[in-house]
Amino acid sequence: MDNLLLGDSIGVVEMATGRRKIAVIGAGNVGATCAMVLAQMKIADIVLLDIFEGFAKGKALDLSQNANVLNYNGTITGTADYADIAGSEVIVVTSGFPRKPGMSREDLIGKNAEIVAQVGSGIKDHAPDAIIIMVTNPLDLMTYHMQKVTGFPASRVIGQAGILDSARMAHFIALELNCAEEDVNPMVLGGHGDTMVPLPRYTTVGGIPITQLISEERIAEISARTASGGGEIVKLLERGSAFYAPGSAAAIMAESVLNDRRRLIPASCFLTGEYGLNDVYIGVPCILGANGVEQIFELDLSADELASLQGSANFYKEQLTEILGY
């Protein structure tokens, strides 16, 4: 194996590949899952950064040793030094306190706003050209906060939520119909929380709208379970929150940016008049490519659907003012 470099006992196994770089900030369960999925994609070298250096290096070493098992290669570096993210084209931010039973995403605002400010400063200083994908909760608020902290163009600061929320809805639909998950194409807009807006009319199974396959009553129940999907997992785990699906969803977004895939996905984007909304991050369908958010699509919503989306956005706008002072 050429160019193999062995780190010290808490270091990493590295291979000089000359590939592109993605940084994942936060080496907890979500960040480590994201890093592992990215490694399996074989698209970039990975820097895993955490305030606790040994924690980041330990995760990176474990992931590096997993390369032989899962047949991936490249550099996976653990660090606590922001200088190591220099040259990263995409940065996934997962840092923050996880939810505990009884906590809403909004309960996390104060604690995680301070963390996001510190992370944003490090990104601004060492990777000023990067595109940022936010995972930290409350997602839509922390994405707005990150954009303000860095001063980056809003198209380069994007919140991961729509893929996750849509995946949760897809799973519940697949359970309902006893069908293949891969045949379900859901669409969920709005904030990443209880105010999210599942859109049954734009959700299909094998190209057929679910409104033709599932009763209105069951769709309402599935939509409600989707909205509380994260809380359901928090309650079951008791000592943490979801990480497999959130980490994987963030990796999918990072890959779409890095490889300019231009995937049409729901994500938390900054709106400037779309859907009658301004100066707010909220989940909407967009094209995600090499420049970040390349285009936002305005769906033809019913009066009730539009009211729900605007209500979701206004809920977060109020919190931006009352709690974060924007």
Question: Where in the sequence numbering do the catalytic residues fall?
Answer: 192
Q: Residue 217: exposed, middle, or buried by beta-carbon count in 10 A (0-12, 13-18, 19+)?
A: exposed
The region that residue 26 occupies, defined by phi over 0 for left and psi between -120 and 50 for alpha, beta otherwise, is left
What distance in Å separates the CA atoms of residue 290 and residue 89, rounded to the nearest whole number? 9
223 phi and psi, to 5 degrees?
A: -60, -40
Two structure tokens written together for 50: 């955490």
Q: Residue 30: exposed, middle, or buried by beta-carbon count in 10 A (0-12, 13-18, 19+)?
A: buried
What distance in Å separates the CA atoms of residue 86 and residue 125, rounded to the nearest whole number? 9
Whether the bond into 138 is cis, omega within 30 of 0:
yes
What distance in Å separates the CA atoms of residue 84 and residue 282, rounded to the nearest whole number? 31
What distance in Å separates the CA atoms of residue 326 and residue 148, rounded to the nearest whole number? 9
Query: Of 15, 30, 41, 3, whose CA–CA distance to 240 is shortest?
Result: 30
Residue 228 three-state SS: coil
Single-letter amino acid, residue 150: T
What distance in Å separates the CA atoms of residue 135 and residue 146, rounded to the nearest whole number? 11
